A and B are shown apart, each in its own frame.
Chain A
């Protein structure tokens, strides 16, 4: 079983602040994905990172894949209440099977 550990488990910040969520593993993944899940819905893919050291930006969200392809981070700049949700990382070691972290619940207060 490939274990992905996310930290922190919960994060509550004020609107306008920055936040970082971490995803760490002892295993190497061929790619790593970040999802966001809202109550009553399934996870929705935000980004896929493939290359070690890769950095991807999606508006105010910055995703980084570690050089060794074992860890990743999600950084949100100037968080807004609409960023509130459950953020999940998932590693892909073969063509299809996803191994998920337990998730980070982010709350952005107005």
Chain B
């Protein structure tokens, strides 16, 4: 069974540009999560989808971040326009059920904004 995949693995963009990160969850997992780790800090929750619906986006930093999960399969996280402080590693995770279910993490996308 394929795990959670993320694309790209690395992205280097200039301040003010737009970047779109993609996450493909494990097949059949309705729950999809985005997390972010900025340098020197802990991994922080960004948002949670159940199928195509946003259940909780309380961790989204500001309105420059837009997450979508059309069709309830893969998800995208767009940053527009990117700022220097957006640099970090963005992780996606998926789980089969919401309550207490193990979250399986992808390898992450390392975003560098210069």
Contact = CB atoms under 8 A, between A and B. Distances in A.
B100 A31 contact: yes
Most chain A CB neighbours (cut-off 10 Å) among B43, B91, B98: B43
Interface of A: 4, 31, 35, 40-45, 48, 88, 90, 92, 95-103
Contact residues of A: prevailing secondary structure: strand
B106 to A, nearest CB: 5
Given A92-B100, A97-B56, 8 more contacts: A42-B106, A45-B104, A96-B31, A96-B95, A98-B45, A100-B35, A102-B41, A102-B42
23 contacts: A35-B105, A40-B9, A40-B107, A41-B107, A41-B108, A42-B91, A42-B106, A42-B108, A44-B105, A45-B102, A45-B103, A88-B43, A90-B43, A92-B100, A96-B31, A96-B48, A96-B56, A96-B99, A97-B45, A98-B43, A98-B45, A100-B44, A102-B41
B42 A42 contact: no
A42 B106 CA distance: 5
B108 A101 contact: no
B39 to A, nearest CB: 11
A78 to B, nearest CB: 28
A43 B105 contact: yes
Nearest to A103: B42
A42 B45 contact: no
Contact of A97 (B40, B48, B104, B105): B48
Most buried by A among B48, B93, B100: B100
B4 interface: yes
B97 to A, nearest CB: 9
Contacts of A92: 100
Contacts of A4: 42
